[in-house]
Structure 1
Amino acid sequence: MPHTPLPPKHRANARSMRKVMTSAELKLWNELRAHRLMGLGFRRQVPIADYIVDFACPEKKLVVEVDGSQHAEADAVVADEARTARLEQDGWTVLRFWNDDILRDIDNVCQHIVIAAGLTGAP
């Protein structure tokens, strides 16, 4: 996947974020990595359109964001909507999951990702 031009600081931030993951991000990454989910190839902490997304499947132009409680605050909701709109403008489909959903029901989260990717069947 070609890299989006980003300032070196942003790229360094993405690199450091790959080293320190939340428990929800780690649980989801263990399902997504190495094409484990129906052969979908995901990357983590990917720079796209001036943002760093949690997970991206370039082949399907699918972004998966893992949101903590801070994303429920009014300012964060507005920022997330703008971020999603910008990514969708570039043809990406954006899925958002709460940390709690991933930690409590990973199978349903994975099934939702598979369906959004246009694949059928259970993960």
Structure 2
Amino acid sequence: MSASTPRSPRATMTASVSFRIASSSATASVFSIFATIHGGVLGALMEITALAQLSITHGHARMPRVVDVTVQYLRSGKPLTTYARARIIRAGRRIANVHVEAWQSERANPIASLHGHFLLSPKEEG
């Protein structure tokens, strides 16, 4: 991109969507016998957060498809309310690059992060 070319508004847009896992009798099975959140549940929470962020921000005809994701488990997730927030790093016409962080009591201390690439569907005409 040259210095005279303006940046696409899609590449600089910032918005956020958040989800949380809360402990209750219905969700007790996501915790193992060691009182930690299963890594698959944590990864799914972050992936869903990324997909929801893309859907809300870009309004595509269909849900984006996962190209690849990398999950980093930073510390054990305890049986506490867990939050996740997605940030779109860059979104082009076909591929979006998204970063997600999950945390519990303090956002400054994430328990996991996800970096993923997602295939975007064409926007609806209308």
Greater C-alpha radius of gyration: 2
Which structure ranks higher in relative contact order (CA pairs < 8 Å, sequence separation ≥ 6)? Answer: 2
Q: Do the structures match in fold with TM over 0.5?
A: no
Q: TM-score, normalising length from structure 2?
A: 0.23
TM-score (norm 1): 0.23
